[in-house]
Amino acid sequence: MADKVQVLRETDDDARLAARLLVRAARYMALAAIDPDTGYPSASRVLTATDLDGVPVILVSDLSTHTRALLADGRCSLLAGEPGKGDPLAHPRITLHCDARPVARDKPAHARIRERFLDRHPKAELYVDFADFRFFRLVPKSASMNGGFGRAFALPGSDLVIALPADSDQWLDLQKRLKSMTNAANDLAGRFGIDKTHRWRIGGIDPAGLDLVAGDVQQRHEFGRIMSSAEEAMHYIFQSPN
Amino acid sequence: MADKVQVLRETDDDARLAARLLVRAARYMALAAIDPDTGYPSASRVLTATDLDGVPVILVSDLSTHTRALLADGRCSLLAGEPGKGDPLAHPRITLHCDARPVARDKPAHARIRERFLDRHPKAELYVDFADFRFFRLVPKSASMNGGFGRAFALPGSDLVIALPADSDQWLDLQKRLKSMTNAANDLAGRFGIDKTHRWRIGGIDPAGLDLVAGDVQQRHEFGRIMSSAEEAMHYIFQSPN
C-alpha cells in the first residue's frame, strides 16, 4: 500500500473538475458488474447520462446479464474517458466504484431521469418505455482518475456529486424552456466561450453547470458555484456578461 | 433464463470469425477485476495483444489496483470493440470472461509474449522490463458478443483460442524474419487484399493468421485453416496467388 500511495498525486481542485467533466461528458462507459451465475466480474458497454446531482444513470434491459447482475448485487464500477488517436494510456480516464440503485417507474425521479437521459440520447426514445427497460442510478462511492502516465488521483465519491436540489421539478422546467427557445444552445455556447462551430442543443442543466450536445460531442460549462435554485441559474445564464 | 436465450442468435462461423477479429484487432480493452480491498468489481483500461494461441495478454504494474486484484483472484473480464461515430450501441463489441494467469519472467512464454506485445505496442519498450511490470495471459472461458441491436451471440472460450503450437520458437523466428524483410508487411497486405494505403508493419503471425499494424489501425488476415507449423505458414504466405 505504501507503494500504491507513492504513485498518487494529491487531489486538487483542477483534478476534481477534470474528474467531473470526464463523467459528465461521457456518452457511454464500460460497466463492471458481478455475473450472478458465475461470480466473475463482467464488463459491458452502457450509454450514460447524469442525474441533476451528477450521479451517472444508465438505461438497460431486464433481458441483459448486466441488469440481472445489478439487481442481484448493486456493487459495480464505471470506466469513463475514451481514447482518441495515439497511445490509449495517454488519454485521461476515470474509474468510479458505485452502488447501483434501480429507479422505480412510479417515482418522480423516473420522469426527471427519463427526460435528462433522452436529451442526451434522443434515439433511446425508441425503447425507453418498453416494459423490460429500466433506469439505474449508479451512485459513486470512490473514484480513481488517471490523467495519463504518472498522473493518478484518488477521489471520494463526494467530489463527483452534489446534493439533489429540492426544487428538482423547476430544474426540469428550466431545461424544457431552454430547449424550446430557438438558438438558446448556440447563444449560450457563445456566452460561455464554447466552440460555436457546432450546432448545439441543450443536453441538460443542473445546479453545477450546463451541458451542450452536438452529435457525438458534449461540452459542459461549470458555473463555478452551486446554484441555490433553478431561478438563480436562469438569471445567471441570461445575465452573464459576454 | 428462457427470456435470455430468446434474444441470443445461433452462433455460426461468421459470428466466430467476427469474435476472433474483435479480440485480435483491439489495441486496448476495458478490464473488469475484483477489487481486493472492497470486493467491488473494478473497470480499468489496459493495452492488449494476443499470444500465439489467441489468448489476450496484458502488461501491468504491480503498483496498480488491477494487478493486485488479478493476483488475489484471477477471475476477470475484458470488453473489446470500440465505438466510432454515432450510436455507441450500434458498434460490435465482445465481453470475454477470463482466468488471469501471471507469466513468470524465467519461462519461455515470457520472451514470446514480450516480443508479440512489443510488436503491437512499441512504446511499451520504455517500461516492459521494469521490475514492477508483469504480463498476464487472460484465458477466455466464455464470451458474449453483441454485433449491434438484436445480434447477440454466446460463445465458449474454445471458439476464441487455438492450441499453442509445439514449435512456438519457430513462430517467433518467422515473425522476426518477416519484420526484417523490407516491405514484407506491405507486400503481404497486397497479397491478402488488405488496404495498401497504410504503411504496414508486422504485428504478429500465429497458426491462424497474420496481423498487420499501422499506427492506431490493425488488420488481420485469417488463413482459413490452422497451420501445422511455422514452416507451412511461411510457404503459404509466400506462395499464395495474388
pLDDT means per 10 residues, chain B with 242 residues, are 54 90 94 96 97 97 95 98 86 96 95 96 95 97 87 92 94 94 91 89 95 91 94 87 50
User: What pLDDT, on the 0 to 100 scale, is given for residue B84?
Assistant: 79
Q: In this structure, what are the phi and psi dihedrals at residue B199, rounded to the nearest 5 degrees?
A: -100, 95
**Inter-chain touch B42–A35, beta carbons under 8 Å:** no
Cα→Cα distances A103→A94, A99, B67, Å? 24, 13, 34
Those residues whose C-beta lies under 8 Å from the C-beta of residue A38, and which sit 6 or more positions away, are B75, B97
Output the DSSP codes for B111-127: HHHHHHHHHH-GGGGGT
From the list A112, A138, A109, A114, the residue with the least C-alpha distance to A127 is A114
Rounded to an integer, the average pLDDT of A133-160 is 92
Whole-model pTM: value is 0.93
**Inter-chain touch A43–B144, beta carbons under 8 Å:** no
Those residues whose C-beta lies under 8 Å from the C-beta of residue A116, and which sit 6 or more positions away, are A49, A50, A51, A52, A57, A172, A175, A204
B123 touches chain A (CB under 8 A): yes
**Inter-chain touch A32–B27, beta carbons under 8 Å:** no
Q: Is the confidence metric ipTM above 0.85 for this complex?
A: yes
B170 touches chain A (CB under 8 A): no
Quote the longest CA-to-CA distance of chain B: 57
Gap between the Cα atoms of A83 and A91, Å rounded: 5
Candidates A43, A76, A215; nearest CB to B77: A43
Q: Which of residues 1-30 of B touch A (CB under 8 A)?
A: 3-4, 6-7, 27-30
Percentage of residues in chain A having pLDDT higher than 70: 95
**In the predicted structure, residue A2 carries a pLDDT above the cut 70:** no
Candidates A28, A89, A97; nearest CB to B83: A28
Taken in order A206, A151, B88, A62, is the CA torsion positive or negative?
negative
Strand, coil or helix: what is B234? helix
User: What pLDDT, on the 0 to 100 scale, is given for residue A83?
Assistant: 85
Candidate from A9-13, A115-119, B157-161 with smallest mean pLDDT: A9-13
Kindly identify which residue of chain B lies nearest to residue A124, measuring between CA atoms.
Answer: B87
Question: To which residue does cell 497486405 refer?
Answer: B189
- The 10 Å CB-count burial string (b at 16+, else e) for A215-227 is eeebbbbebeeeb
Rounded to an integer, the average pLDDT of A10-14 is 86
From the list B182, B167, B188, B186, the residue with the least C-alpha distance to B230 is B167
Does residue A144 contact residue A156 with C-beta atoms inside 8 Å? no
From the list A73, A1, A88, A23, the residue with the least C-alpha distance to A222 is A23
**Inter-chain touch A45–B7, beta carbons under 8 Å:** no
Does residue B117 contact residue B135 with C-beta atoms inside 8 Å? yes
User: What pLDDT, on the 0 to 100 scale, is given for residue B4?
Assistant: 43
User: What pLDDT, on the 0 to 100 scale, is given for residue A5?
Assistant: 40
Secondary structure tally for chain A: helices H, strands E: 7, 11
Candidates B30, B62, B97; nearest CB to A79: B30
pLDDT band at A242 (very low <50, low <70, confident <90, very high): very low
Gap between the Cα atoms of B68 and A152, Å rounded: 16
Q: Let me know if A115 is exposed, middle or buried by CB neighbors in 10 A (0-12, 13-18, 19+).
A: middle
From the list A220, A200, A198, the residue with the least C-alpha distance to A210 is A220
Residues of A in contact with B33 (CB under 8 A): 41
B80 grid coordinates: 473489446
User: What is the Cα B138 distance to its own chain's centre?
Assistant: 10
Residues of A in contact with B32 (CB under 8 A): 30, 32, 41-43, 77
pLDDT band at A216 (very low <50, low <70, confident <90, very high): confident
Segments in chain A forming alpha helices (H): 2-6, 13-25, 65-72, 108-120, 168-180, 184-191, 230-239
From the list A198, A193, A234, the residue with the least C-alpha distance to A213 is A198
**Inter-chain touch B44–A216, beta carbons under 8 Å:** no
